[in-house]
Amino acid sequence: MGYGLGIDLGTTFTAAAVARESGTRIVPLGQDGISPSLVYARADGTLVTGEAAEAEATDPVRLSRGHKRRLGDPTPLVIGGAAYSPAALLAAQLRDVVAAVTAQEGEAPESVVLTCPAVWGPYRREHFDEVPRLAGLSGARIITEPEAAATHYSVERRLGDGELVAVYDLGGGTFDTTILRATAGGMEILGTPEGIERLGGMDFDEALLAHVDTRLDGAVSALDPADPEAAAALAAIRALCVRAKEELSTEPDVLLQVPLPGGGRELLVSRIEFNEMIRPAVALTTEALDRTITSAGLKADDLAAVLLAGGSSRIPLVTQMVSEAFGRPVRLGLHPKFTVALGAAAVSRTPAAEQPAAVVPPSDTPLPGPTSGRPKWLVPAAAAAAVLLVAAATTATLIGGGEDTPTPPQGGALASPVPPTTTTSAAATTPAPQIAASTSQVIAGPPPVAPTTARADAPPASQATPGIPEVKVYDGSDVSPFRSIIGSEENWDGTYLGGRRAAEHTEIRVGPDKVGGADGLRATWTGRGPAQLYFQDPGFRDMSAYLDDDAALVFDAVVHSPPTSWASVAVHCEYPCGGQVELTSLLNDLPPGRKTTVRIPISCFVADGLDPKHVDTFMLLYTEEALDMSVANVRWTPGAADEPDALDCGGRE
């Protein structure tokens, strides 16, 4: 079972994704799943990259960043007294990424697809062709970043044959725009791709740095890079500006603690201020996209949508200005930072014109795994159109006790990671996977079996097996390192509930509530669009032992108003990896206003596609219409799947 590998060697970060027969998924290279595009030259001449380079960067003159922008420049880059070509530095990154993926996957990839900006001409492309050769890879293919982004977009949303889409790719160092037409054989480029060479997140960082310097009366520009203490402070302030830029995508303002050698300074920066700093640059991108549309002989009205790709496209001002300029649906890729890598991985599974030679990555120290970071961009479950439902006759029962014991819900089918617009259908009792043509034609599961009555004297949850403790996710507040987050069409990137334990979008609002005497969260879906409440570990965990030990996702629930449409609970392992279980019938059958303890075996999620070795989201509640419910005491409990009244979803052997 070989796999293909897609790699986005970006100006500011690098992402990688693998594609197997089961689908594509991101491979975590570092914090947030990505690796910073950094190269550090050790004193012995060894090059280290990514987070390892960042960790070792005690001497700023030995660290290189943004070298992708210099590709094709005949003047070498001098790092630590030695000269390197930009291609050699990119090759060092590529070598380490392939080695890291090989270490994680346990085998080398069968094929590798790299991406490059569409605006690059033959000269820059020739230099980029040198990168895989210098990295010791043979047979690697190269496609443009917009092609990769559109390929992933077509997988997510199923572009119709002949449908037109504009790709707006605003990354860390470059901007690209391309018009693509979906065909049976892939993506066809129309017109002339445009781009702006030096416009991206790095420039926004510099604008914010200049703003901070101005507000501090030139204290930042006065720092002498030749002085070690000043150089360290300058590097820390730059990193602070990068984080502030990212925070301002979800927060109205950010308080900066600026570490100056003479003493720290405090500075408040608002999103409104940041928007004014970057507005002229964003206007240049919309003008470029307008020229690209014209070059294809089209008008904006001819486009099905404008797809935003690249990490910098997450800035809210970008969506606003693109929408205002073209009046077309603006689609933010489900993972803007990962869209290109995921698309490249999908392409890696398609045969090239000529079969490439086997890819043999060099042996080297793999990059460290992720430890912490901001929330991964979770999939709005209605993002894709193809739906796979594993129909299975189930008996859905709940554990209850005393006065909280409800009449158990009826069973339902295991659902794919895509919530359907359900239509009832007679089905045989034998489970059989079926694929629906679109979300408006979904093959439903079999009729539910008759419910059984939960025992009033149901036993308590099993105790954890020695050595495998219960994992508490939410216990009145977030249990570190977990974070409670809401996401919706207003902001799929996620809003932390944080210490306030409250947040609100147009589609969902969440606040504190009591659940059977315990502190919990009340989530109200307003019916104005899809939304989700989820609990996420910023890193990844191998939870295989919990599957082996018959663990269950356990939480206390109170339904105030049942769902008016399809609802689900999911566990994710970095999109598109995950498993999902339908909750519609269960929530509709719970007695309103009364606490019930729900136990769902982890095997149910694994049967639907969850990889237990890479779990990052331990519970996600989703619906597209109205629902009002409270949850508390979210945990993974070993042995709980063996309880006689645990949910029977057909996912266990």
pLDDT at 576 over 50: yes
**Contact yes or no for 511/521 (Cβ under 8 A):** yes
pLDDT recorded at residue 401: 33
On whether both 121 and 221 belong to a single domain, the answer is: no
pLDDT at 162 over 70: yes
In a domain, residue 361? The reply is: yes
Q: How far apart are CA 156 and CA 311, in angstroms?
A: 18
CATH value at residue 214: 3.90.640.10
Per DSSP (E only), the strands in 497-573 are 503-504, 508-515, 518-526, 531-541, 552-561, 567-572
Local confidence band at 180 (pLDDT 50, 70, 90 cut-offs): confident
On whether both 32 and 116 belong to a single domain, the answer is: yes
* Owner of token pair 């005393």: 402
**Residue 336, preceding bond cis, omega within 30 degrees?**
no
In a domain, residue 393? The reply is: no
On whether both 125 and 208 belong to a single domain, the answer is: no
Of the residues 277, 309, 336, which one is the last residue of a structural domain?
277
Q: How far apart are CA 80 and CA 421, in angstroms?
A: 59
Q: How far apart are CA 424 and CA 84, in angstroms?
A: 64
pLDDT at 411 over 50: no
In a domain, residue 178? The reply is: no
pLDDT at 552 over 90: yes
In a domain, residue 222? The reply is: yes
pLDDT recorded at residue 513: 92
* Alpha helices in 504-553, H assignment, sequence order: 544-548
> Could you give the number of structural domains in the chain?
3
- Which H or E run contains 317? helix 316-326
On whether both 132 and 221 belong to a single domain, the answer is: no
CATH value at residue 121: 3.30.420.40
Give the domain range for residue 608. 470-642
35-39, 301-305, 357-361, 526-530: range with lowest mean pLDDT = 357-361
On whether both 130 and 227 belong to a single domain, the answer is: no
Which residues contact residue 64 at a Cβ distance below 8 angstroms, ignoring those fewer than 6 apart? 38, 39, 40, 41, 77, 79, 84, 89
pLDDT recorded at residue 158: 56
In a domain, residue 249? The reply is: yes
Mean pLDDT of the chain: 78
Local confidence band at 470 (pLDDT 50, 70, 90 cut-offs): very high
On whether both 516 and 636 belong to a single domain, the answer is: yes
**Contact yes or no for 375/483 (Cβ under 8 A):** yes
pLDDT recorded at residue 557: 95
On whether both 483 and 623 belong to a single domain, the answer is: yes
pLDDT recorded at residue 442: 23
* Alpha helices in 488-538, H assignment, sequence order: none
On whether both 26 and 116 belong to a single domain, the answer is: yes
Q: Count the alpha carbons within 13 Å of 185 in the hemisphere toward its beta carbon.
A: 5
On whether both 135 and 221 belong to a single domain, the answer is: no
Percent of the chain at pLDDT > 90 equals 38
Q: Per-residue pLDDT tens for 244-296?
A: 998 898 888 999 999 998 888 999 999 999 999 999 999 999 999 999 999 88
Q: What is this structure's pTM?
A: 0.52
pLDDT recorded at residue 41: 92
Q: Count the alpha carbons within 13 Å of 494 in the hemisphere toward its beta carbon.
A: 24
Of the residues 216, 250, 277, which one is the last residue of a structural domain?
277
On whether both 493 and 625 belong to a single domain, the answer is: yes
Of the residues 345, 371, 397, which one is the last residue of a structural domain?
371
HEC string of 248-289 equals CCCCCEEEEEECCCCCCEEEEEEHHHHHHHHHHHHHHHHHHH
In a domain, residue 400? The reply is: no
Q: Per-residue pLDDT tens for 10-65?
A: 888 899 999 998 788 899 998 778 899 999 999 888 999 999 998 887 777 888 98
Q: Per-residue pLDDT tens for 335-350?
A: 677 888 998 999 998 7
pLDDT recorded at residue 596: 92
On whether both 218 and 121 belong to a single domain, the answer is: no
In a domain, residue 241? The reply is: yes
In a domain, residue 315? The reply is: no
Residue 95 corresponds to which tokens in the numbers above? 């070598």
Question: What DSSP assignment string belongs to 185-207?
Answer: TEEEEEEEEEEETT-SHHHHHHH
Buried b (16+ CB within 10 A) or exposed e, 601-634: bbbbbbbbbbbbebbbbbbbbbbbbebbbbbbbb
Which residues contact residue 168 at a Cβ distance below 8 angstroms, ignoring those fewer than 6 apart? 177, 285, 289, 306, 307, 308, 309, 313, 318, 322
| Mean pLDDT, rounded, for 148-174 | 78
CATH value at residue 565: 2.60.120.430
pLDDT recorded at residue 385: 28
Residue 381 corresponds to which tokens in the numbers above? 């479950």
Q: What are phi and psi of 409, to 5 degrees?
A: -80, 170
Picking from 312, 300, 284, 336, the residue whose alpha carbon sits closest to that of residue 149 is: 336
CA distances from 589 to 378, 406, 558, 583, 586 (A): 28, 8, 11, 10, 5
Which residues contact residue 499 at a Cβ distance below 8 angstroms, ignoring those fewer than 6 apart? 477
- Amino acid 63 reads L
